[in-house]
Amino acid sequence: MKINDALPLEYRTEENSNKIFGFWLFLGAEIVLFSTLFAVYLTLWNRTGSGPTGKDIFEINGVIWETVLLLTSSFTCGLGIHAMRLGLKKPMMIFFGITLLMGLGFLGIEITEFVNYVHEGATLQTSAFLSSLFVLLGTHGLHVTMGFLWGAGILIQIKRQGFTDETTNKSFIFSLYWHFLDVVWIFIFSFVYLKGLM
Amino acid sequence: MARLFPIRHVMGYIFSLVLSLVALGVIYWDLTFTAGIVILIICAAIQASLQLVLFMHIGETSSKKQLYLNIAYAVFVGLVTVFGTLFTMIWGVR
């Protein structure tokens, strides 16, 4: 096995740097996936039928909190990787823990928002606008949920095994995923909520 | 303690909050639709690049050329999907 000591631990074996490279390819496919969902939403956003419009149902306060939580969690996730590269296990676990808690907070707000929509009579079946909205937001929310479970699993492994080739590699790949979800959220924040309320 | 908070990350975080605030401005300022959309596109593009370069460390290894190419291609396909759809479904219908 070829080992390159000049790189951070998570890259050092060839297999691990290939895993990181492969994950970037996956993120490329994710960009395309979310683009198709945005294309559908941007086509149908004013096909509200007899249902409510975006202006009627969007609540900016919740959306601002969601944005702050995800931006901050992306920051703490980056700090976690930084601490990992310094070899500091405890700070890394704290930063990742904060990241995951904020992810959970984000999900809490999003679920409350969905419940409110449904109470206001805005369901998946109400109009083309709402179908495309729920599918776009739901796909992102599902990714965050998966990220939470994935990150929690990695935290347990870090606690048990410490920093090894494998656990650092997994943590770094998780950080790529988490930052990517933040990027997707920025686009949802801008082109769904802000554009809808403009 | 200070070494846990590298200045690049802190600055990147503050900058991303500022960009979100500017984007938020479009719903409070009295702007035309086009001006608003332009602000949103610029802020989102800077914000995405910030995450990519600063937090995701896209340029830190020798495979950075391939990584940039991969992301550029994905973004290209995404933009063609979005604007192609808008062109055929909305703007083309007159």
ipTM rounded to 2 decimals: 0.93
**B1 and B21 share a domain?**
yes
Q: CA-to-CA distance for A103 and A97, rounded, in angstroms?
A: 10
**B43 and B71 share a domain?**
no
- Identify the architecture of domain A9-41+61-197 in CATH: Up-down Bundle (1.20)
**B3 and B31 share a domain?**
yes
Q: B71 to chain A, minimum CA–CA distance in Å?
A: 6
**B85 and B46 share a domain?**
no
Nearest residue on chain B to A63, alpha-carbon basis: B24
pLDDT band at A112 (very low <50, low <70, confident <90, very high): very high
Q: Is the pLDDT of residue A13 over 60?
A: yes
Total domains, chain B: 2
**B68 and B44 share a domain?**
no
**B6 and B48 share a domain?**
yes
Q: CA-to-CA distance for A9 and A89, rounded, in angstroms?
A: 13
Q: Which residue has the higher pLDDT, B68 or A6?
A: B68
**B51 and B75 share a domain?**
no
Q: CA-to-CA distance for A189 and B23, rounded, in angstroms?
A: 9
**B14 and B29 share a domain?**
yes
Give me the pLDDT at residue A90, please: 95
Give me the pLDDT at residue B9, please: 94
Interface residue B26 vs chain A (CB under 8 A): yes
Give me the pLDDT at residue B94, please: 63
Amino acid making up residue B30: D
pTM value?
0.94
Q: Do A75 and B67 touch (CB under 8 A)?
A: no
Give the CA angle between residues A146, A151, A154 to the nearest 5°: 130
Of A31, A183, A198, Cβ closest to residue B33? A198
Give me the pLDDT at residue B6, please: 93
Nearest alpha-carbon partner for A107 in A137, A151, A136: A137
| Residues spanned by the domain of B85 | 61-94
B 42-81 residues with CB < 8 A to A: 43-44, 47-48, 51-52, 54-56, 58, 61, 63, 66-67, 70-71, 73-75, 77-79, 81
Arithmetic mean of pLDDT, B1-13? 91
Q: CA-to-CA distance for A184 and B4, rounded, in angstroms?
A: 27
Q: Do A25 and B77 touch (CB under 8 A)?
A: no
**B44 and B66 share a domain?**
no
Q: CA-to-CA distance for A12 and A165, rounded, in angstroms?
A: 7
Contact (Cβ atoms closer than 8 angstroms) between residue A10 and residue A16: yes
Report the C-alpha dihedral over residues B43, B49, B53, B54, rounded to 10 degrees: 20
Q: Do B55 and A183 touch (CB under 8 A)?
A: no
**B51 and B20 share a domain?**
yes
Residue A137 C-alpha from the chain's centroid: 11
pLDDT digits (tens, 9 = 90+) for A77-110: 999 999 999 999 999 999 999 999 999 999 999 9
Write out the two tokens for A93: 């676990």
Q: B58 to chain A, minimum CA–CA distance in Å?
A: 9
